[in-house]
Structure 1
Amino acid sequence: MFRIRLALVIAVSFSFVLLLGAVMYWGSNQVIGHFQRSQAAYEAFERYERLSQEAYRYFKQQMDRLITGGPNAKAGVETAKHRLFDAMRVLRDEVVKNAEDDAENYDKPAELERVANLTAFLDASEYRFNEVERLREQGKRESALQALSKFSGEEIDSKFQPLIDAAIQSERQKAAKTKQELENLVSQSRWLAILASLIAALFSFSAGVLLLRRVKKPVESLMKGTNEIASGNLSYRISLDSKDEFSYLASHFNKMAFELELQQEKLREGRAELENRVAERTFELHQLNEELKRMDTERREFLADISHELRTPITVIRGEAEVTLRGRDRDPDEYKDALQRIIDLSMQLGKYVNDLLFLARIETANLQFEWDNMNLTELVSGSVDDIKVMAEDSAITVSFGAPTQAIWVHGDKQRLRQVLFILGDNACRYSKPGSHINIALWQEDKTVCISLTDQGIGIPSQDLERIFERHFRSDNARHSRDDGSGLGLPLARSILKAHGGRIEVSSTENLGSTFTVTLPLMFPDEDTTT
């Protein structure tokens, strides 16, 4: 078993380490002792350096305050004083501590005397600075500056600096001495370390070669399996013939790969299901969006229909009223006829309002009809009178030709009147002032035809098939009038289609157009049940 071999190597290595430890113990203790003394000397040197720096910073802050008296000088002096006395306290505590820890190698009286002298000087300097401050506050600026200069030259340079230099020199000598002793000890320990290293290297090489031979193949197999799994080949399995720990690890590795493969398959299934749900929701949202667009389009078309279909009856009603008011000495029957037309138009206007409430598209199924038998000659004649009223504003003349006998059809009177209004309104809007509109009614076999010919702007030949499309307007119509909606002719064709009829157009641009409406005749023996 690999575990037993590894335990044997570890036991031998541990024994070897204990032996080397016993050999190196004495040398290491000596090195540590010398190193500690060297470190203490360098730390003492650094503390004296810090004390020197903080003292000169404090002296400079005091002199700047006494000379310039700036607003922030006092705060700076207090900070420098705190730092100085903190450095002095640290130095004093370390001197006492080192004297107690290493009494054999430490000159305690000299160190304590040196620290006491430095402390006394700093206390005296505080007194001297206070004396200068009093002179300055009494207005004796010159005396204060002379006293400050004397203190700087005689006290700081002559007393404080030699104390600091002596302390630093003493610590340097201690550090040099301990350094030399440490180097000698390290030189002695070096040979021991070399010998120990050679022995350790020989043993490590031998043990490493033996262990490498046992672990190379299993480790390579495990690394290959790891690479296969990392590259996504979760079906790969590690095969080891040994019965040691590596074989146990390989079996667990194969089990992990199997679990990962199962998890990956579940993730793929979950992702596929999620993608299907997202696609379904996206399709539903698309449908809802299209439905909203359709509803918005129908809303706009509905408003356009209202505007278009209400304009013509209102125009005729206004025209009838204006014509009637302008007339003088008219026969009462004429007033009655005008009022009757206004009533008929008002009723038709009310029907438009009711119908347009249900109108979302101009399809026959969405329009409501009231079917009845009617005299088409009478209906067209009355509509011609209304068209004449619309034509008066542009001085357009209107003529009408029809047979004397009645022509009967089955349909919705108001709807057919609406078709005639649409054609008449377009003729009046797009005809030139002073031109003529001709309306004719005649019978052909089993149909009846109504034609309306104007002398207007005409329709371009390429647009003849498109004028019955919703919202389409030819270019010359848009240039002539900008208030059209392109709804009238599509609505007229829908109404005629519901009556079993049709509408046709022929036109020459800039000369005029002829619209022809064809409806089936009603015969006496025809079933008119709707």
Structure 2
Amino acid sequence: MSVRAHIALIVIAVCLGVAAFIGLLNAGMRAADFALLRAQGAGSQLESLHALDGAAGRYGRQVVDQLLFGYDRGGELQTARNDMDRVLANLARATREELNAFTGSPDLQKELPEIETVRRMTDLYHAIDAAAKRAFSLSASGDGGEAARVVSREVDFRLTNELQPLIDAGIGEERAEVAEQLAMIEAERSRLLIAAAVAGGLLLLVVALLAILAMRRSHRGTTTAAAETRAAMAELDRKLKALEQSRGQLLADIGHQLRTPLTVLRGEADVALRSAAGDTDALRVAMQRVRAQAAELALLFDDLIDAARQESEAQPLVMQSVRLEDVAAVAVDEGRMLAEAREVAIAADIGDDGAEIEGDFRHLKQAVMIGIDNAVKHSAPGATVELSTGVESGRAVLRIRDSGPGIAAEDQPYLFQRFFRGRAEQDMMNPGFGIGLAIAKGIVERHGGEIALRNRSEGGALFEIALPLRVGTR
């Protein structure tokens, strides 16, 4: 065969190899996208189950208070009932949405019992609430002994021994499913990387053969063609890896970035609902905060749209002169909504004399909120989280201290890695996917600063952000 015929056959083989690799890549991406969709659905159910766990506990306590005091103090029992109805509705919706992801999948039949479990939880709660109402009626008619027996036998016992096991089992199943799908995504990623490496090696081998054959015709021309081919393959490999990384990062950041403003919105709504009738000032303040968080959500969605358009490019920072004490004050104000739900206090000591830095106010506040949220999640009820600011060695420094269990030595090197969840997270059953600290680290480093999280000698952990002062300030 002539050199030209050899070259034609090699080119055909290269085209077939590229087509096969693209097909494998598409199949792998579809499998990863399906696994990610399932993980998101399971995550939504897991969040709803945790919310149901808390709501059921509050409901049981309010039933006992009602029986003891004979009236619904501050409407808290009705609020607990409303929370149960809302959380059960959210759980049912999340379950249906997860099942939609299984349309056409052979795994659909294995997931159908989840709908039945949610229905059992709902029916069980309604039966328990009906028993509670009957107990209140007996108490009002003077038969306190029978009322207490009804509460013990049909409310407390069924909450503890019937509803709670269903919730615990659901939480365990959804956690396992999230872990399974994340492992599947990682496995697909590894397979794609291996396939890319094999395909790249084969293509380089083909290119080498092509170069040897073409060298008979023109050594200089062949060398140039081979170099251009290798450069094109390297660029293609770089773009594929960058696209994979940006897609994964974008999807992982969405849940974390939206969680905090949504939690604050819910807290402010609870404050408004608990406000005394006619307390327009408290209601106005709550609505103003709700409006501010709605604006924050709009900005987050803008960032997500920009990120989708720019793919691998980072979200731009809006740099301006910012006072660290203003960032800290806003973060503390919003952080108290997160702390209140866990019965944790936040003490602020903002003493930096108005230190100014060059930065993006909203992103810096997000980094501080991540530190506050991390401290609150690792604090016991009744504890106090301390936040302080100051100026040290020409840098603005913000510190957040908690009195929690601290950081295990084996976890310390991995704290700022994406998806890493330390031993304390598992022990305290804190929700989340382990991306908050990685987001905060990225924000601080893009501002030219440093971030650290370490144990305190007196116990607990210390979260620290150090940022360079704006030029022209002390």
1 or 2 for the larger relative contact order (CA 8 Å, sep ≥6)? 2
Q: If you compute each CA radius of gyration, which structure gives the higher value, 1 or 2? A: 1
Normalised to the residue count of structure 2, the TM-score between the two structures is 0.47
